[in-house]
Structure 1
């Protein structure tokens, strides 16, 4: 892998949808860089510190959320003199997002009093009363024609369907939930999934005209759904629960056809490769070198002080089953227990998906949906902070707030040492072309590119070899 030098950032960073530019927040300044050269393309000054960034789908405009004001500013990449400010006054702004046509901005006020659609073309605005959530509860169809918005009034949950052309309400239907937690269109726009809060396990599939196609509840008298994710192909719906299991529903009958559990003990008949992160101290044989006494003493002193940082290297060791992975017991006297499937994401080809069970924060599970089995387990030394699939192939990268980047493909896994001093990865993102990887530290960022070709997948067996890159 090749890495750039580190650059300053103080907030959100995100790639443009066309993969050409990188927007970076530095206090009140918005810096737009070219992805290839990282040269500054545009520099914009906001009126306050930037809390949120989002590119318009056409990569022409950038939205900046200044929630302390509260205010939203938008900028044009091709017209630097053009600017837009949105201020809701005393209602405030809790969240903002782009519409699919890149010409409207949707803002949600504080206390979810209303959702407002602002036009950048004719300055018109449309209000939707009583949105259920600020950041969640809004989903657009893939063709960008319709929006589903969760609302709640008179203690009843509803889904409002809006046309993204005229922003008129096309229909409203009630949802059979106690406390609607989220809504998501299917990738083929043929169905809408809605799920209840953690207090009741309930997943509901609706048609766009409001007919309930299926109700699913795996169990009662326990904390329910925690994560929901459609496969990119639209054939599978993964539901992660607080009972540490993932259930897969098919799009034809909406029945469950697979259930994957996350047991602390991995044993046969699992054929998955278990990769465990272990230390690999860098050792240099200097027995035959003749050094002066002062230089030798200086190297010994520096090695004692900095050996743990500069000489620290890690690698993956392939473990034999049975093996017990680290697990934590969640606190029973605190709300929102750290238990259950808190992280779930599908690969771009819908062949694999990964999960993280929150009471096993150092373990990442990778599942093969075609074979309906566990493909691999990555056991890290530190809790997993973020993981992301390459948008072009089944390549997975993850970070643990350490100076290392971890990578998995169907051919194996490897650890990559970051060649930057005091750089610990807390978050990472791919650009849409899969050509560049953004790595974030607490107050800086760098970009990485994979120069070697992706190893071809073995058809019948998975290699047990591990590798390490500088």
Structure 2
């Protein structure tokens, strides 16, 4: 195994292509190839989120008062969306919609979608702020279709669903949802279905909609409402081929639905005791148990049955207890499903979706933080137990999991780097202020030119340095490239205000709507954010 050099910086994020990793450090954005390290200056301070575009060509840097879009390659100037006086609260999220649009949201629920080629912003209204996930979900891209963004809002104690089309700068009429308090929504990978998850106490718990916001099915159906007072669905997970959707429940079961009629295929249950003695040996599910020696060497052995996975809590406490399924995720081809139960967090169950039966059980020495499937090797899963050890398990073989020990300080979070199936494995190990790249099979051999890295971000922009306003460039008041250094837009406004102060008294507008009625039709006075 090989380990890259330590990179200092927070929020290490892998690009969708898997060829770049970005992180922030000392007001700098540092995009780098997996074998090199380069940086560009950014004006954003206290960066909260880094968001890649789907083509890995741009990255959005989100901070409380600024969202900055940087091109990774070339000499394009950064596009900056400022928060103005902050009357809408701080920026809390941003997401690329295609190549030329960016959606931003504020902490009080307001959202806008910006056309990065024209600088025009379209108000999307008030998004729901009590969701478990972002209140917008972009429909997966498909050839020939207009891009669609589903928006979840709540007005007058009622949930509403809106389909917005950025290229057309228009939206469908908002649809009132039958939900009590919608918690999340998700598109199927093929973009044919949108699932809306209601609060756990509601029944039905899940509603399925077509892309034109037509309600198709609900679960459980009206003819089979539960009505027993139990908590319902906790999370929704789609298979990569969109043929199956898994509903994780608070009672510890996982319901598999087909995506044609949305009727149950199977109900998965996690038992506290595994007993297969009555089955022939070749039909028994292998149960791998990790053992740790006094010298900290780790190995696996098949557990004899019956066997009881260790419980997460052995003594009663006053702390609230999590219920139901802790995690459920499909492999990249939808053939396998990995699940964990909140009662047995150190045990990972692997299910065969074709046979609807248990394929394997892995009992770790420590609780598992995350089980993540490789994006291209469909049968390979990594188990992260917060120990700096990558547990690799190829479920298609009869071999035991492999513990790849990385001598890294702390307990970095492990995640796959997107690589081709024929390429060697790469794992991102990200700590709070640094990260490494692990190569369990050794690093790929590359040429000297590739090791030199790629040019990123164009010129370095020092903090406080001026930059061209995108709107001024498009209107012809400033040249695009090459350009001359001029005062920034904000500085020019300050100079104009200073000149006005010398000759006459200036009446400052209040931010309330009734103070200056002449401008209310032109701009929302509560929204003074600008794009540059």
TM-score (norm: length of structure 1): 0.82
User: C-alpha distance in 1, partners of 2:104/2:244?
Assistant: 31
User: C-alpha distance in 1, partners of 2:76/2:138?
Assistant: 30
Tell whether the 8 Å contact from 1:271 to 1:374 is kept in structure 2 after alignment: no
Pairwise CA distance, 1:167: 3.2
Q: What SS does the corresponding residue of 2:87 show, helix, strand or coil? A: helix
Alpha carbon RMSD of aligned pairs, Å? Answer: 2.3
User: C-alpha distance in 2, partners of 1:179/1:27?
Assistant: 41
1:180 aligns with 2:161: no
Q: Aligned pair in 2 of structure 1 residues 128, 421: CA closer, same or farther (>3 Å)?
A: closer
Moved more, 56-65 or 421-430: 421-430
Q: Name the structure 1 match of 2:403.
A: 416
Q: Aligned pair in 2 of structure 1 residues 332, 194: CA closer, same or farther (>3 Å)?
A: farther
1:167 aligned residue (150, 166, 169): 169
Q: What SS does the corresponding residue of 2:108 show, helix, strand or coil? A: helix
Pairwise CA distance, 1:324: 0.6
User: C-alpha distance in 1, partners of 2:376/2:404?
Assistant: 23
Tell whether the 8 Å contact from 1:42 to 1:77 is kept in structure 2 after alignment: no
User: C-alpha distance in 2, partners of 1:444/1:42?
Assistant: 15
Q: Name the structure 2 match of 1:448.
A: 438
User: C-alpha distance in 1, partners of 2:299/2:3?
Assistant: 19
Q: Aligned pair in 2 of structure 1 residues 315, 7: CA closer, same or farther (>3 Å)?
A: farther
Pairwise CA distance, 1:426: 2.7
Q: What SS does the corresponding residue of 1:165 show, helix, strand or coil? A: helix
Where does 1:105-124 land on structure 2 (aligned, <5 Å)?
105-112=102-109, 114-124=110-120
Q: What SS does the corresponding residue of 1:111 show, helix, strand or coil? A: coil
Which deviations, in whole Å up to 9, do the C-alpha atoms of 1:72-116 show, x marking residues without a partner?
22211124561122233221234323233132221121122x211
Which deviations, in whole Å up to 9, do the C-alpha atoms of 1:395-437 show, x marking residues without a partner?
0002111132101112133233434253533332332546422
Q: Name the structure 1 match of 2:207.
A: 204
Which deviations, in whole Å up to 9, do the C-alpha atoms of 1:172-218 show, x marking residues without a partner?
22221100111112222222111102232511111223332111137
Where does 1:37-436 land on structure 2 (aligned, <5 Å)?
37=35, 39-67=36-64, 70-80=65-75, 82-88=77-83, 89-112=86-109, 114-133=110-129, 135-143=133-141, 145-201=147-203, 202-217=205-220, 219-220=226-227, 221-268=229-276, 271-281=284-294, 311-328=295-312, 337-393=321-377, 394-410=379-395, 411=397, 412-431=399-418, 433=420, 435-436=425-426
Tell whether the 8 Å contact from 2:292 to 2:365 is kept in structure 1 after alignment: no
Q: What SS does the corresponding residue of 2:366 show, helix, strand or coil? A: coil
User: C-alpha distance in 2, partners of 1:94/1:243?
Assistant: 37
Equivalenced residues, count: 416
Pairwise CA distance, 1:168: 1.0
Q: Aligned pair in 2 of structure 1 residues 167, 273: CA closer, same or farther (>3 Å)?
A: farther
Larger fraction in strand: 1
Which deviations, in whole Å up to 9, do the C-alpha atoms of 1:333-387 show, x marking residues without a partner?
766x412113221111100011122232211111110110111122122221222
Pairwise CA distance, 1:228: 0.6
Tell whether the 8 Å contact from 1:274 to 1:319 is kept in structure 2 after alignment: yes
Which protein has the larger Cα radius of gyration, Structure 1 or Structure 2? 2
Q: Aligned pair in 2 of structure 1 residues 328, 419: CA closer, same or farther (>3 Å)?
A: closer
Q: Name the structure 2 match of 1:15.
A: 14
User: C-alpha distance in 2, partners of 1:109/1:118?
Assistant: 14
User: C-alpha distance in 1, partners of 2:374/2:114?
Assistant: 34
Pairwise CA distance, 1:331: 7.7
Tell whether the 8 Å contact from 2:63 to 2:91 is kept in structure 1 after alignment: no
User: C-alpha distance in 2, partners of 1:369/1:267?
Assistant: 21
Pairwise CA distance, 1:262: 1.2
Pairwise CA distance, 1:7: 2.4
The gaps in structure 1 that reach 5 residues or longer are: 282-310, 453-470
The gaps in structure 2 that reach 5 residues or longer are: 443-532
User: C-alpha distance in 1, partners of 2:90/2:420?
Assistant: 33
User: C-alpha distance in 1, partners of 2:318/2:176?
Assistant: 34
Q: Aligned pair in 2 of structure 1 residues 319, 426: CA closer, same or farther (>3 Å)?
A: same
User: C-alpha distance in 2, partners of 1:128/1:263?
Assistant: 46
TM-score (norm: length of structure 2): 0.73
User: C-alpha distance in 2, partners of 1:51/1:391?
Assistant: 26
Q: What SS does the corresponding residue of 1:90 show, helix, strand or coil? A: coil
